Amino acid sequence: MAGKSTDEKKTRGQMLQEKLGFEIKNCWDNCTEKEEEEIFRFADEYKAFIDKGKTEREFTAGCLETLKKKGFVDIEELLGKGGGLRPGDKVYQNIRDKSVVFAVIGKAPPTEGLNIVGAHVDCPRIDLKTNPLYESAEFALFDTHYYGGIKYYQWTTIPLAMHGIFIGRDGVKRNINIGEDAEDPVFTITDLLPHLARDQMQKKANEFLDGEELDILAGSRPFKDDKIKDRVKINILNILNKKYGMVEEDFAGAEIEFVPAVKARDLGLDRSMVGAYGHDDRSCAYTAFRALLTFASGKPPAKTVVCLLTDKEEIGSMGNTGAQSRLFENFTAYLCAKTTPVYSEMLLRRALGKSSMLSTDVNAAFDPNFDSVYDKKTASYFGKGIGISKYTGHGGKVGGSEANAEFCAKVQGVFDKNKVRWQYGNLGKVNKGGGGTIALYAANLGIEVLDCGIAVLSMHSPFEVISKIDLYTAWKGWTAFLADI
Ligand code: MN
Ligand code: MN
């Protein structure tokens, strides 16, 4: 369709509308063919990365592998040794294989403040209990405890894969990964057939399955020995023992997670979207990771740029791999210690207080199937760029850190200057619910922080959907922020 000729005279109202109003446009409209190719290629790289990194440990391992290849060094190995970090130097810290933080030293020292992009790498899922394996009606089942905010019913009757680690009696750590290869078996949580679900269907959605009813079907073939009880269970233990050297007590301290056994796929006839498990928050984590990597070669950035990828966000950012811990302060302290002649606590506080951060986490995309819960004026829409959430929290803004007006204006300015499209990103109508991110824990350290993210449909379900162009815009946006804020 041809555009309007430019010399066609605009009315005064049209001119005022253009000058004064904020029009949020569909980003696909202005794309060149070359950009579209780039967007699709970027999405392919994203799909490949998240298919290999379905858990916080796997995602962290994927990042570390690339970081080492790109010449990042372990900052903990530099501590207590002579020599400092210089502009352009690249460092990382691996936090117990479940979180990772990495940086490129800028021309200005870290004590002048850091430019940070943060995201989380844990996703909602089904965890095993500490003594999970049991037999009932000659089935072997795994007893579970779900992780994060899920609608139970969405996790039944889909193929699940078993991921995780355990430490054997010999003290050796072993990785478990069953259900991802085409040849692998998968697992599932069963549900009642409609024919016998008359009572179940009368219950409210949050009651018709109980958290205790999410047990995973793991086997049905008995071990051939009628002298023992629980022969199906013993058979399963025997298989795990042969494959991994595992014994029953190893489950007690293991971290075993069941995730959807589906790969990330192009979605829609136009392939404009990606359907996958765990876009929350791996879409932001991946784009943040890629944004930081753009500073790994070439001239050092003006300020020190940092990427923070944390664990446990979905359950409140607790624990020593979560954003509530001292992990980010520690990393900043190490940066200061390696870039100043004499380290002091005051310098650390100053570095944090002068720092700027985008807390990048997904936001609810407007869903026409459920339009009544959204505020259409402040919701995020597919294809319209980065959603900015000035505040999070729930009813009465409770529990969120609201970004300061001055900082919001700065971020909007950076996006505008770099032609990065942004839109509003508020989570639903007042009192319809709410949520949080890692932003408030950064804010508690004195960091200026703003929540920004990619719009996602079916958040926290086993198959979430995002727009490819929003993924690409996020990468561009985080990169612009790191360079220019
Ligand atoms: Mn999230
Ligand atoms: Mn979430």
- Span 321-366, pLDDT tens digits: 999 999 999 999 999 999 999 999 999 999 999 999 999 999 999 9
Query: At residue 171, does pLDDT exceed 90?
Result: yes
Report DSSP state, residue 233: H
Q: What number is the average pLDDT over the span 85-113?
A: 98
Query: At residue 227, does pLDDT exceed 90?
Result: yes
Q: Please name which of 105, 87, 479, 50 lies closest in space to residue 293, comparing C-alpha atoms.
A: 479
Burial of 389 (0-12, 13-18, 19+ CB in 10 A): buried
Q: What number is the average pLDDT over the span 445-472?
A: 98
Report DSSP state, residue 322: B
Q: Please name which of 397, 404, 470, 475 lies closest in space to residue 436, comparing C-alpha atoms.
A: 397
The confidence band for 286, taking pLDDT boundaries of 50, 70 and 90, is very high
Chain-centroid distance of CA 110 in Å reads 26
Cβ distance 388 to 425 under 8 Å?
Answer: yes
Q: List Cβ neighbours of 69 (8 Å cut-off, separation of 6 or more).
A: none
Cβ distance 120 to 322 under 8 Å?
Answer: no
Cβ distance 108 to 304 under 8 Å?
Answer: yes
379: left (phi over 0), alpha (psi -120 to 50) or beta: beta
- d(CA 438, CA 360) in angstroms, rounded, equals 9
pLDDT computed for residue 82 by the predictor: 86
Sheet holding 255-260, edge to edge: 173-178, 160-167, 255-260, 125-136, 139-147, 216-219
Q: From ligand 1's centre to the CA of 103, what distance in Å?
A: 22
C-alpha distances (whole Å) from 126 to each of 103, 107, 416 are 33, 45, 41
What does the chain come to in residues?
A: 485
Higher pLDDT, 401 or 466: 466
Q: What number is the average pLDDT over the span 14-43?
A: 95
pLDDT computed for residue 5 by the predictor: 53
| Both structure tokens of 147 | 């992780």
Query: At residue 319, does pLDDT exceed 50?
Result: yes
Q: From ligand 1's centre to the CA of 425, what distance in Å?
A: 13
Q: From ligand 1's centre to the CA of 420, what distance in Å?
A: 22
Give the number of C-alpha atoms closer than 13 A to the C-alpha of residue 356, restricted to the C-beta side.
20
What mean pLDDT, rounded, does the chain reach? Answer: 95
Q: From ligand 2's centre to the CA of 462, what distance in Å?
A: 12
Q: From ligand 1's centre to the CA of 213, what distance in Å?
A: 26
Query: At residue 6, does pLDDT exceed 70?
Result: no
Q: From ligand 1's centre to the CA of 196, what distance in Å?
A: 37
Higher pLDDT, 205 or 461: 461
Task: Please give the full DSSP string across 384-403, using - where no structure is assigned.
Answer: S-EEEES--EETTTBT-PPP
- Those residues whose beta carbon sits under 5 angstroms from the ion ligand 2 are 280
pLDDT computed for residue 1 by the predictor: 47
The confidence band for 205, taking pLDDT boundaries of 50, 70 and 90, is confident
Q: For residue 437, which ligand has an atom nearest its CA?
A: 1
- Is-cis flag, bond preceding 225, omega within 30? no
Burial of 61 (0-12, 13-18, 19+ CB in 10 A): middle
Q: From ligand 1's centre to the CA of 479, what distance in Å?
A: 20
Q: What number is the average pLDDT over the span 90-98?
A: 98
Q: Tell me the one-letter amino acid at 169.
A: R
pLDDT computed for residue 176 by the predictor: 97
Task: Please give the full DSSP string across 338-407, using - where no structure is assigned.
Answer: TTSSS--HHHHHHHHHT-EEEEE--EEBP-GGGGGGS-TTT-B-TTS-EEEES--EETTTBT-PPPPHHH
Tens-place pLDDT, residues 393-420: 888 899 888 999 999 999 999 999 999 9
Q: Please name which of 286, 280, 475, 449 lies closest in space to residue 358, comparing C-alpha atoms.
A: 449
pLDDT computed for residue 307 by the predictor: 98
pLDDT computed for residue 428 by the predictor: 82
First to last CA, the chain: 38
The confidence band for 293, taking pLDDT boundaries of 50, 70 and 90, is very high
The confidence band for 175, taking pLDDT boundaries of 50, 70 and 90, is very high
Query: At residue 17, does pLDDT exceed 50?
Result: yes
Cβ distance 381 to 23 under 8 Å?
Answer: no
- d(CA 119, CA 330) in angstroms, rounded, equals 18
Q: Please name which of 315, 268, 309, 324 lies closest in space to residue 460, comparing C-alpha atoms.
A: 315
Query: At residue 112, does pLDDT exceed 60?
Result: yes
What is the enclosing helix (H) or strand (E) of 52? helix 33-52
Q: From ligand 1's centre to the CA of 289, what distance in Å?
A: 16
pLDDT computed for residue 32 by the predictor: 96
pTM to 2 decimals?
0.96
Q: What number is the average pLDDT over the span 102-109?
A: 98
| Both structure tokens of 174 | 């072993």
pLDDT computed for residue 26 by the predictor: 97
Q: List Cβ neighbours of 378 (8 Å cut-off, separation of 6 or more).
A: 424, 425, 426
Q: From ligand 1's centre to the CA of 180, what distance in Å?
A: 24
Q: What number is the average pLDDT over the span 200-227?
A: 93
